[in-house]
Chain A
Amino acid sequence: MDVVRTVMRRELAAYFATPLAYVFIVIFLALAGAFTFFIGGFFERGQADLESFFVFHPWLYLFLVPAVAMRLWAEERRTGTIELLLTLPASTFEIVLGKFLAAWIFTGIALALTFPFWIMVNYLGDPDNGVILASYLGSWAIAGAFIAIGACASALTKNQVIAFVLGAAICFLFLMSGVELVLAAFRPWAPPVVVDIVASFSLLTHFSELMKGVVSAATAVYLATLVGCCLLVNTLIVELEKAA
C-alpha cells in the first residue's frame, strides 16, 4: 500500500505543479454554476434542492474528466519516465491504482469546491441533505468511472490528444447506453436480453437514481465493477506493452 500512496502523492502533486489543476477547477466551477442557473433554472424552479446543479455533472465530466485522465500514462510514455516508473519495485496494478486514486481525488477536490451551492440552497430553503449527499457521492462515482476509462485510453497511446478523444468517446458510450441512440444500434440483431444488458450499463440511468437519493446495491455493484474492470484492463495494457 505504501507504493500506491507514493504514486498517488506524486501524481496529485503533478496536477498542481502545472496550471492544469487550476484551469480545470475554475472551468468546472464556472460551468457548473452557469448550467445550474441559466440552463437548469435554479431560481425559476423555486425548489430547495440541487437537482438543477447535479443533473449536468455527467455532461461536464464527459469532456472535463478525460482531460484529467489523459496525461496519466500518455505523458509517461512521451517523456520516457514510464521506464523509470516501471523499473521501480512495484507491481503494475499498484501503480495503476495509485494513478487512478490521484486523479479521482483531484476530481473530488474540484467537486468539494462546489460547497457554496450547498450552503446557498440551505440558506434559501430546507433541502433534503441526505439526497444532496447521495447526489454528491453519485457524481463523484461517475467521475471515478470516467477516470478509470480515461486512464485505459491514456495507457494505449503516447499522444494525449488521442487519449482524450478516445477516452471521451468511450465515456460517451457508457453514459448514453440507456438511450435509443445507442440501443437502436443493437435492437435489429441482438436478442432483447442483450439490449437490456446494454441499457443497464447506462451511467445516466444509475446517476438519476442516485440523484433521487436512492443508493441501490445494483448501482454500487455496477459502478465498482466498472471501475475494477477498467483498472484491470489498464494493468493488462501496460503489461502487454512490456511483452510486445
Chain B
Amino acid sequence: MQEMVRLERLTKRFGDVRAVEEVSFSVGRGEVLGFLGPNGAGKSTTMRMLTGYLLPTSGTAKVMGFDVVDEPREVKKHIGYLPEGAPLYADMSPLGLLRFVGGMRGLEGKELERKIARAIELTSLEEVAHRPIDTLSKGFRRRVGLAQAILHDPPVLVLDEPTDGLDPNQKHEVRKLIKTMSAEKAIIISTHILEEVDAVCDRAVIIARGRVVADATPAELERRAPNHNAVRITIDRERVQEAVDALRMLNTVRDVQRLEEVDGVASLLVLPTNGAEIGAAVSQILNERGIRVERFAVERGRLDEVFRALTAEAA
C-alpha cells in the first residue's frame, strides 16, 4: 500500500496550551482513516496543520512526500479539504464558489466546467447550483463544502466532520460517496459519530487531550470492549439462579451479570475471559441442564464503550 500521508510527532501549542502532542500516523492509498476524539481533543488542529492552515510547533507532516512547512503549495494542490463547519462564501452560489475554487486550483475552460459538473453530480447539488449559499439548508451547505473538496479529484481528502448536521439519508449518501472514492485516495475523516467508523473507516485513530490513544481497525477496537464476545441470553425467571451457577463453573467465563426482568423472563449477560469465544460452551451447558433459552445473542462489543474507556483514561 502506497503511503500518501505521514504525520510524525506533530505538535501544536497555543501559548501554554498543548493542543496536539506528538501525533504520528500514516494513511495509504485506498484507506479511509477515521480520526476520532472528544470535542477539543485536537482533531481539527491536527487537520489544520496537515492542510497548511496552521504551522506546527514541532514535528513534521508530509502529503504525497511534500512537507507541509517547506512546500505548502504542493501539499495544498494534492489535498481536498472540508474545514470544520464547512465555511463558505455566503454571497456566492455553489456554482460561483466552485468556479472560484477551481480557478484558484488552476483549472479553466472546458476542464473546469467538466470537473464542476462532476462534483455537482456526485454531491447532488443540481437543484441549488444557482442559489445563493446563505439561502441553503445546512445539509446542502455541507455538500457544497464537499463538492469544493473533491472538485480537482485530489489524491488526499481531509474531511472535518463531513456528515455533521446531515439527516440520516444524507449521511448515508455522503458515506456512500466516500466509499466510492476511497479506492484511489487516502481519506481522513474526523468524526465523533462512532457508527460512521463502522460504516466507512478501515482504520481508526483515537486522540484525547492531543495525544494518540489508539490506532487500530474498527474490529480490533471492538475486541477491546469489555463485553466483546459476551453472550446475552434470555431464559425463564424460575431457573435464573441455576443457570448462573452453571455458567460460573466454566473457566472461560469471567462473570455473569443479571439484567432486567420483563414478563417473567430474565436476561443474563455472560462475560468471557479475555474476549474468548464462549457461545458454543454457553449453549451446551444450558442444554445439558435442560434450561430453555428464549433468545441468544453474541455481542461484538460497542465502539462507544471502547472510545469512552480510552478517552476517559487520558483525561
Contacts and interface: CB of A to CB of B under 8 A. Distances in A.
A87 B83 contact: yes
Closest 5 CB pairs of A and B: A80-B87, A6-B103, A17-B91, A89-B76, A83-B83
A89 B90 CA distance: 21
A242 B88 contact: no
A88 B53 contact: no
Contact of B89 (A9, A14, A90): A14
B54 interface: yes
Given A87-B79, A89-B76, 19 more contacts: A3-B104, A6-B104, A7-B104, A10-B100, A14-B89, A79-B89, A79-B90, A80-B85, A83-B87, A84-B87, A84-B101, A84-B148, A87-B76, A87-B83, A88-B76, A88-B105, A89-B73, A89-B105, A90-B73
B58 to A, nearest CB: 12
A91 interface: yes
Contacts of B90: 79
B48 interface: yes
Contacts of B226: none
Contacts of A14: 89, 91-92
B51 interface: yes
A118 to B, nearest CB: 33
Interface string A67-100: 0000000000001111110111111000000000
A184 B84 CA distance: 51
A88 B101 contact: yes
Contacts of B14: 244
A2 B105 CA distance: 9
Among A10, A18, A91: residue with most chain B CB under 10 A: A10
A242 B104 contact: no
A79 B103 CA distance: 21
A243 B83 contact: no
Interface of A: 2-3, 5-7, 9-10, 13-14, 17-18, 79-84, 86-91, 242-244
B53 A83 contact: yes
A17 B89 CA distance: 11
Contacts of B48: 83
B245 to A, nearest CB: 61
B51 A87 contact: yes
B254 to A, nearest CB: 48
10 contacts: A3-B104, A18-B91, A79-B87, A81-B89, A83-B87, A84-B101, A87-B51, A87-B79, A89-B104, A90-B104
Contacts of B148: 84
A86 B76 CA distance: 9
A81 B88 contact: yes
A84 B88 contact: yes
A3 B81 CA distance: 18
Nearest to B101: A88
A6 B76 contact: no
Contacts of A2: 103, 106, 108
Contacts of B103: 2-3, 5-6, 9
Contact of A89 (B77, B84, B87, B89): B77
A48 B104 CA distance: 48
Interface in B34-58: 48, 51-55
Among B52, B76, B88, B103: residue with most chain A CB under 10 A: B103
Contacts of A87: 51-53, 76, 79, 81, 83
A226 B183 CA distance: 52
Nearest to B14: A244
A98 to B, nearest CB: 10
A17 B100 CA distance: 15
Contacts of A89: 73-74, 76-77, 104-106
Interface string B91-124: 1100010001101111010000000000000000
Nearest to B57: A243
A14 B83 CA distance: 21
A152 B53 CA distance: 19
A80 B82 CA distance: 12
A88 B104 contact: yes
A79 B55 CA distance: 21
B44 to A, nearest CB: 9
A9 B53 CA distance: 23
Nearest to A79: B87
Contacts of A9: 100, 103
A18 B85 CA distance: 23
Nearest to B54: A242
Contacts of B88: 81, 84
Contacts of A244: 14
Contacts of A84: 81, 83, 87-88, 101, 148
B73 A91 contact: yes
A10 B103 CA distance: 10
Nearest to B76: A89
Interface in B58-85: 73-74, 76-77, 79, 81, 83-85
